[in-house]
């Protein structure tokens, strides 16, 4: 592997507060040095960054990979292609596959599959319950030992109060988090859109927004009871965020993330039964979208995840109520997040923080920084590059983007994994 000098770049690293023009030197896959006045050692390949931003490779803490069992929708290899195009070098993989990741051998397999791509590090979540069915707890200790970075039932809420209490207690004993899909299963059952005027007008079975807050309130109380740590995924409502804010003020181990659809789109994106915009949780009223934007700005929301859920044509070419929820998100994660920077809602440093070092900390990973000696996982970003999301041309297998047709400003022009250029 040749040494690389990436020159004439704006070095941006929220983990250390670094923001300066300069260059970065990669040797043997690691960051050797960086600064405003680096020399050019002999035999080093030079990349002219032309003033673009060089930041850590993004860390995506919520990704459905398709493997095992859903390879017709996505594979680790095809997801890695999409991730590289989006500047993502580390992904946390959901365990609700077929079979579910409730066996230590499957945790090790997913990690190995990621390494085989040469493009991404895969950090698997372990299934909180066997088969992600919510009936019997998984072997949390053995899964932790095998390399699981947290425990969740993926897109399924852990609905049983008793089971959630046990999971929080056992996970805490190993220093691990429970990642919850915050939606009361009974209130959400059979629903397809957020309850309100639009769902009524379209004749769609509805899910009350309160289904999220009810689950959040329950699990905050259980975290207090057990001393465990709970992380709420893809939070989408103002009421839930208010509860999370209060819990954190009380010193409880409560964290959360959101995903781009919940701060960039609202329920009107489903239009006349547009199934690409059928997500779980469903898109909300604009008042909730604005509350999520506020949560990004004030620090209530810890991280932004793609919530990548690959679906194929057969999943989406159905009546809206029957279509499978989910949207692809790897290639659009950064671009849609940057729209909040361009709109003045959050700073560039805050946006990059929520995509790099913040999710890395939540996952217990050393990724997401430009520190000397760190792996050279890098993202080169042109803030002025304009592009359009066009379904059918996105990298990877999955094309089910709720952002189809969306014009974005800011695009990845280079991605490096362990010092090797894998995109651009």
The set of catalytic residues is: 307
Using CA atoms, how far apart are residues 91 and 122, in angstroms rounded to an integer? 5
DSSP category for residue 267: G
Q: Is the peptide bond before 99 cis (omega within 30 degrees of 0)?
A: yes
Q: What is the CA radius of gyration of the chain?
A: 21
Strand duo 45-48 + 4-13: pairing: parallel
From residue 288, alpha-carbon distances to 235, 240, 282, 292 in Å are 10, 10, 12, 6
- Cβ proximity of 26 and 376 under 8 Å: yes
Sort 413 into a burial class: Cβ within 10 Å, 0-12 / 13-18 / 19+: middle
Sort 3 into a burial class: Cβ within 10 Å, 0-12 / 13-18 / 19+: middle
Q: What angle do CA 19, 24, 26 make, to 5 degrees?
A: 145
């Amino acid at each position: 592997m040749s040494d690389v000098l990436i020159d004439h770049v704006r070095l941006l690293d929220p983990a250390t507060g670094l923001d300066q023009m300069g260059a970065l030197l990669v040797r043997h896959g690691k960051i050797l040095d960086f600064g405003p006045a680096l020399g050019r050692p002999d035999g080093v390949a030079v990349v002219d960054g032309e003033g673009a931003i060089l930041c850590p490779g993004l860390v995506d803490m919520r990704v459905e990979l398709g493997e095992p069992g859903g390879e017709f929708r996505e594979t680790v290899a095809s997801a890695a292609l999409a991730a590289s195009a989006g500047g993502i070098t580390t992904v946390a993989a959901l365990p609700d596959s077929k079979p579910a990741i409730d066996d230590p051998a499957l945790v090790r397999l997913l990690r190995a599959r990621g390494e085989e791509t040469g493009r991404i590090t895969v950090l698997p979540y372990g299934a909180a319950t066997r088969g992600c069915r919510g009936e019997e707890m998984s072997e949390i200790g053995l899964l932790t030992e095998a390399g699981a970075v947290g425990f969740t039932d993926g897109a399924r809420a852990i609905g049983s109060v008793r089971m959630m209490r046990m999971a929080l207690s056992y996970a805490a004993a190993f220093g691990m988090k429970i990642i919850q899909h915050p939606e009361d299963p009974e209130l959400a059952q059979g629903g397809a859109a957020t309850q309100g005027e639009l769902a009524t007008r379209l004749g769609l079975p509805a899910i009350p927004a309160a289904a999220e807050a009810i689950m959040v309130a329950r699990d905050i109380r259980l975290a207090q009871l057990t001393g465990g740590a709970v992380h709420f995924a893809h939070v989408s409502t103002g009421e839930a965020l208010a509860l999370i804010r209060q819990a954190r003020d009380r010193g409880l181990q409560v964290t959360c993330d959101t995903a781009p659809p919940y701060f960039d789109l609202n329920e009107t994106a489903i239009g006349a039964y547009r199934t690409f915009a059928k997500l779980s949780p469903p898109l909300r009223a604009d008042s909730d979208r604005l509350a999520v934007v506020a949560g990004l700005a004030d620090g209530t929301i810890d991280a932004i995840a793609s919530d990548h859920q690959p679906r194929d044509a057969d999943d989406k070419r159905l009546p809206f109520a029957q279509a499978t929820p989910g949207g692809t998100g790897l290639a659009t994660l950064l671009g849609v997040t940057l729209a909040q920077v361009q709109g003045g809602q959050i700073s560039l440093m805050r946006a990059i923080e929520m995509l790099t070092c913040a999710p890395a900390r939540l996952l217990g990973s050393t990724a997401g920084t430009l520190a000397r000696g760190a792996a050279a996982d890098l993202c080169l970003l042109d803030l002025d590059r304009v592009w359009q999301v066009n379904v059918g041309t996105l990298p990877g297998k999955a094309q089910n983007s709720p952002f189809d047709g969306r014009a974005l400003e800011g695009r990845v022009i280079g991605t490096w994994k362990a010092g090797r250029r894998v995109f651009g």
